[in-house]
Amino acid sequence: MNQEERARRQSRRVIISEIIMLLAVIATVCVLVFLVSGYWLNSDFEVERQGLLQVSSFPTGASVTIDGESSWLQRTNTSKVLTAGEHTIVLTKDEYDSWSKTINVKEGLLYGIHYPRLFLKDRTKEKVLDVTAATFATVSPNRNRMLIANATTDWKLINLENNKLEPRSIDISKVFPGTGDSENSKLFTGEIISADWDGNSEHILFKVKYNDAFEWVILDIRDPKNSVNITRTFAANFDQIKIFDSSASTLLAVRDGNLHKIDLSSRQISAILVEKIHSFDHFESEIVFVADYVPASSSPTNDENESTNTATPAPYYLGLVRLGDSEATTLSELEAPAKVTISKFYDDKYISVLSDANIKLYKKDEFKEVLSSNLTFSPATMKVGRDGNFVTMSRDAQIATLDMEAMAVREWQATSPSFGWLDDNMIYSVADGTLTVYDFDGQNGRQLSSNVSSHFPVTITSDKWLYYFSDGSLVREIIAK
């Protein structure tokens, strides 16, 4: 065989090898696309579309049992391909209690369970701070700080992440009225109605009642001298105020039924953003609201030819406005006032509208209804979970949870109206001194502690410590190793 023939054969081999490699790459990509889309071969070698389950837990490393079956590979903080339909998930870990839930996995979709918390069965507890003088307490959104108020002008701020708690004094004598300019200059005489933190956990928005009057104050816990009494600064009575940005420099406020923006840096209040407003919520720069219908170009209509539409408009409307826009957008008509929220879940924004006992969920961008459910009660409050994965509605001890992952509403009952948020995904309730905790949807209720005060918050810090008030003391339990 001459050299020219050998070269031709070698070229053919190279070409054939490259073609085989290319086909292998294409086949691999096709298989990966096939798998990512949820398709799988079952035990009978039939193609079926499945779903993907992701499970995390606190603490990590819990064993996962799915429909009664488990393997050494199944631990939390992992993923598992499952057939579409119902599956029962159970998490267990040595020395801890267990957690379980039945879920409905949908074809080709991811179902994420990122909130299960397991508690040590044998927990040690200690009294870490004397709080006999406390009249009110509030915990920051990241749960690493607690402000404890009392009847004086010397309040206490504590870092809950420190092993040894060392309260820092917060002088409020120049912040609230009736404290620094009276004979009892060292006394705080107001009644705290609400306290909301900013996203940076550096400012708290207080609503305080004095006799029959209310005042709104932004307390700067870094330097109380930079605090702002909003009511006095703007010489106005506000019905509602919400913090708009993470640093509490911008607020949204309702005055005389109209929505305004407040810029605390320049001490300016804007012109009216929305007239005759009933409720509102915001996410980033977008504000969703319910207001009285005002005859204008923004009034809703279902007729393509407005000039021929003689139908009487509904008395209320659901609208959307962005800060900086000159006009609001009308989304729909409403027959009655409603509560409203806006939130983000995965890559989509959603608007929830609660009217009496009916909850509707819409995708914001195309304003498409994706869920409607009638409740057995009319909630008084409505709150979005911090991660946007659920919406809770409540009246007294009755709670309804809109689970965004499951796209379903579940009603349940806490042990008493004295409930709050243990962390971003768990609710606690205190009845007759017994502390009971639940997942956000009311499942996995567990009694943790006794002799717990229902007048003060309960919280978890660093996924390690449980804090609560008991007999004039702040108590800490170790809930995880």
Q: What is the CATH number of the domain that holds 101?
A: 2.60.40
In single-letter form, the type of residue at position 169 comes to S
Nearest to residue 220, comparing CAs of 199, 196, 203, 200? 203
* Continuous segment of H or E residues that includes residue 18: helix 3-36
Look at residue 64 and tell me if it is in a domain: yes
Q: State how beta strands 47-55 and 110-113 pair.
A: parallel
Look at residue 53 and tell me if it is in a domain: yes
Asked if the model's pLDDT at residue 79 lies above 90, the reply is: no
pLDDT digits (tens, 9 = 90+) for 261-272: 999 999 999 999
Look at residue 97 and tell me if it is in a domain: yes
Number of compact structural domains in the chain? 2
Between 405 and 296, the higher pLDDT residue = 405
Query: What's the confidence (pLDDT) of residue 296?
Result: 53
Look at residue 59 and tell me if it is in a domain: yes
| Beta bridge pairs of residue 354 | 339, 359
State the residue range of the domain holding 337.
Answer: 279-380
Task: Enumerate long-range contacts of 155-161, CB under 8 Å, 24 or more apart.
Answer: 157/221, 158/129, 160/459, 160/461, 160/462, 160/465, 160/467, 161/461, 161/462
Look at residue 308 and tell me if it is in a domain: yes
Query: What's the confidence (pLDDT) of residue 406?
Result: 94
Distance CA 396, CA 245 (A): 30
pTM of the model: 0.85
Asked if the model's pLDDT at residue 286 lies above 60, the reply is: yes
Identify the domain boundary among 380, 413, 437.
380
Q: Is the dihedral of CA 213, 218, 221, 226 positive or negative?
A: negative
Average pLDDT over every residue of 317-339? 94
pLDDT digits (tens, 9 = 90+) for 23-32: 777 766 655 5
Q: Dihedrals φ, ψ of 229, to 5°?
A: -85, 105
Asked if the model's pLDDT at residue 389 lies above 70, the reply is: yes
- As a whole number, the mean pLDDT across the chain is 89
User: Tokens in use for 336?
Assistant: 């009655």
Report the side by side order of strands in the sheet with 473-478.
125-130, 473-478, 465-470, 459-461
Question: Where does the pLDDT of residue 311 fall: very low under 50, low under 70, confident under 90, or very high at 90 and above?
Answer: low
Look at residue 452 and tell me if it is in a domain: no
Identify the domain boundary among 380, 403, 421.
380
pLDDT digits (tens, 9 = 90+) for 113-158: 999 999 999 999 999 999 999 999 999 999 999 999 999 999 999 9
Distance CA 388, CA 374 (A): 21
Identify the domain boundary among 94, 113, 132.
113
Look at residue 143 and tell me if it is in a domain: no
Lowest mean pLDDT among 163-167, 302-306, 325-329: 302-306
User: Tokens in use for 313?
Assistant: 């408009």
CA 261: distance to chain centroid?
A: 23
Question: Where does the pLDDT of residue 74 fall: very low under 50, low under 70, confident under 90, or very high at 90 and above?
Answer: confident
Look at residue 263 and tell me if it is in a domain: no
Question: Where does the pLDDT of residue 78 fall: very low under 50, low under 70, confident under 90, or very high at 90 and above?
Answer: confident
